[in-house]
A and B are shown apart, each in its own frame.
Chain A
């Protein structure tokens, strides 16, 4: 394969029985055999990367990615501790994890890398990697399942990953560690008494497997919310792994599916399913959901500003402000587009670099940019831009121990004097006009970012 891609996908169960006690129950043994068969398929595929999306690793803040190159510890299940312990020493592709993290950020997703000695790798990931990668030859990455993430975030997470697989030319296997029906017996049972908890759970599980056997992965993705309602106990995370897996497979319905085993573990529906990208069946699908590439939902509840647009996704590169004697720099002002500080103090005076309306951190332009990334003109609000410039000036001055009331002299630059002078002047009158600095307003051809106004300020301390 040129350009890299997903060479196989798997659904695998999470409970430790397949590793620690396959001999105690016929079904557990069959799941173990299926796990071993899956390991062989992976070996034969010449895969060079295993990607695990684990439902037993819930996260609250962001999606998390393991980036410890060799996490080692002993895993004991919270419920099934009497089965014993699993020692793990995993081979993680930390570089891929770091790149995936960056790609997530570039697509508006919050995510972070986790690299701490002793971090408790979740049971699903430990079981899956122990059995699918027994000699640890193939490097892996593991991503958490975010408690609050819905389909669009989960899809973007997959697309970020898939894009990276393509760019880096990897032969990757996408794996979801998950149960189908997840209701377990709430009492201790003898291994020989294990079965699917209820007939309803069993029927739904078989329906899901029928779809997967027919390669209709996207259909299962679209049924996810119904499945959650029907056969999923409200544990920590909802039934979202199929969203991820489907997006990893281009939301297709014509994969080649094979159910390697379906059995109960302590009542829960557990299956090993192989999905190969080779086309089979009709594959007609009705993709009725937003096919999102970038996440733009609201996750930022700490600030009232909108969530991060992609920093410097277009336009000039952003720089960290430079440091020199008397320089004043703040995280509450937008990053410079060159090697200069936000401001510089000399004696009782403070000189500000040209200040535009871009927002700190998000780089967003209040009132909208003046043109899109292709250069097509856009309608924008000069009043909102002017106000944002003045707010940025105030923040820089406050960082310097001064204030907007100490502004002495302003040079303003407008890219369209005819269109914008009036709006700009109105905002000025309500703000700096009341402070009373001297002012010069110039029309210029362009500014380095798609903004319409910038101000150069001198103030006293």
Chain B
């Protein structure tokens, strides 16, 4: 069997507002657009990966929050209605997604061997979190590639960003190993925002873009700093500054997805492609691609 590979890694945030603004037939509420900067960013990301062939998508979403270890969706198909508990007015999405259980199990087993607490989720009534669905939809609205869905372990809450990073670097390493051994071509997605201070009010028309901006200048500066590191291929600095960033920007990196992503890519030292940046209800969101396919070793 040929060796598997990660063909690309992406930061692919999941605010449900993006799906809402797209008006796909799966989503019940109807919008008059909004958050175009980010939606165009996703468009550019999809375009950029158009010619890249892959078999599966691996997502880590901060909204499947598990306190007892890391969990993996473990049934072939999930379909139901996902209603966002925080923005139910925007997101009521009828999903139907296939899971690459084989790959999920391979990552699970490797993580288990490495001493991480892991579990396969095999309850058919389980509702997939809206973060996974939003990222899944925005990344590939066709839903024609099987997914591996990994829960977000809340070790940040229990211990510290440092401990979270240690665990996520390990999880990223075994994710990579499992992918290489699987013989499959895979895209890995971290589904998180950057700075994550929300407005606590919603404008009368949620998609009223005259109301949308970052919550504070400090949040903006942090986001730009992290984006600069990504664009200039300095991901080790992101790992190094993650504790400060996570704390001071209340960043959604606390869920571990970003650290995990960078680890699956072996902490890239080549420039990432920034496809878009924008705010959603005050939080900072970047759509970023690490085009591994362009940096294959000869």
On whether the beta carbons of A122 and B201 are closer than 8 Å, the reply is no
Interface magnitude class on chain B: 35 or more
- Shortest CB-to-CB span from A201 to chain B, Å, is 13
- CB neighbours (8 Å) of A208 from chain B are none
Of the residues A60, A80, A188, contact of B200 by C-beta under 8 Å: A60
Closest to B80 in A: A118
- CB neighbours (8 Å) of A81 from chain B are 71, 121-123, 126
Interface of A is mostly: loop
On whether the beta carbons of B86 and A302 are closer than 8 Å, the reply is no
- Shortest CB-to-CB span from B251 to chain A, Å, is 14
- CB neighbours (8 Å) of B71 from chain A are 78-79, 81
A81 and B78 alpha carbons, distance in the complex (Å): 15
- Shortest CB-to-CB span from B252 to chain A, Å, is 13
Interface set, chain B 2-19, CB cutoff 8 A to A: none
- CB neighbours (8 Å) of A60 from chain B are 86, 198, 200
On whether the beta carbons of A186 and B67 are closer than 8 Å, the reply is yes
On whether the beta carbons of A120 and B200 are closer than 8 Å, the reply is no
| Cβ of A418 under 8 Å from chain B | no
Of the residues A120, A186, A187, contact of B127 by C-beta under 8 Å: A120
- Shortest CB-to-CB span from A77 to chain B, Å, is 9
| Cβ of B125 under 8 Å from chain A | yes
0 or 1 for each of A215-227: is its CB under 8 Å from B? (1 = yes): 0000000000000
Closest to B159 in A: A186
- CB neighbours (8 Å) of B67 from chain A are 79, 184, 186, 235
A84-B123 CB under 8 A given contacts A61-B200, A118-B83, A186-B69: yes
Interface centre among A59, A79, A184, A266 (most CB of B within 10 A): A79
0 or 1 for each of A291-316: is its CB under 8 Å from B? (1 = yes): 00000000111100000000000000
On whether the beta carbons of A188 and B154 are closer than 8 Å, the reply is no
On whether the beta carbons of B64 and A78 are closer than 8 Å, the reply is yes
- CB neighbours (8 Å) of A85 from chain B are 123, 125
A110 and B204 alpha carbons, distance in the complex (Å): 13
Closest to B63 in A: A78
A315 and B283 alpha carbons, distance in the complex (Å): 39
- Shortest CB-to-CB span from A168 to chain B, Å, is 26
Closest to A235 in B: B157
Of the residues B86, B123, B153, B211, contact of A61 by C-beta under 8 Å: B86
| Cβ of A183 under 8 Å from chain B | yes
On whether the beta carbons of A187 and B83 are closer than 8 Å, the reply is no
Interface set, chain B 121-178, CB cutoff 8 A to A: 121-123, 125-127, 151, 153-155, 157-158
Closest to A61 in B: B202
Of the residues B85, B119, B154, B211, contact of A302 by C-beta under 8 Å: B211
A-side interface residues, number (CB < 8 Å): 39
On whether the beta carbons of A79 and B68 are closer than 8 Å, the reply is yes
| Cβ of A148 under 8 Å from chain B | yes
0 or 1 for each of B67-99: is its CB under 8 Å from A? (1 = yes): 111010000000011010111110010000000
| Cβ of A114 under 8 Å from chain B | yes
- CB neighbours (8 Å) of A288 from chain B are none
- Shortest CB-to-CB span from B123 to chain A, Å, is 4
| Cβ of A435 under 8 Å from chain B | no
Of the residues B68, B81, B204, contact of A185 by C-beta under 8 Å: B68
> Which 6 pairs, one residue from A and one from B, show the smallest C-beta to C-beta distance?
A85-B125, A81-B123, A118-B81, A187-B117, A74-B125, A76-B126
B residues sitting closer than 8 Å to A (CB atoms) are 64-69, 71, 80-81, 83, 85-89, 92, 117, 119, 121-123, 125-127, 151, 153-155, 157-158, 198-204, 211, 215, 282
A residues sitting closer than 8 Å to B (CB atoms) are 57-62, 74, 76, 78-82, 84-85, 110, 114, 116-120, 122, 148, 183-188, 233-235, 266, 299-302, 331
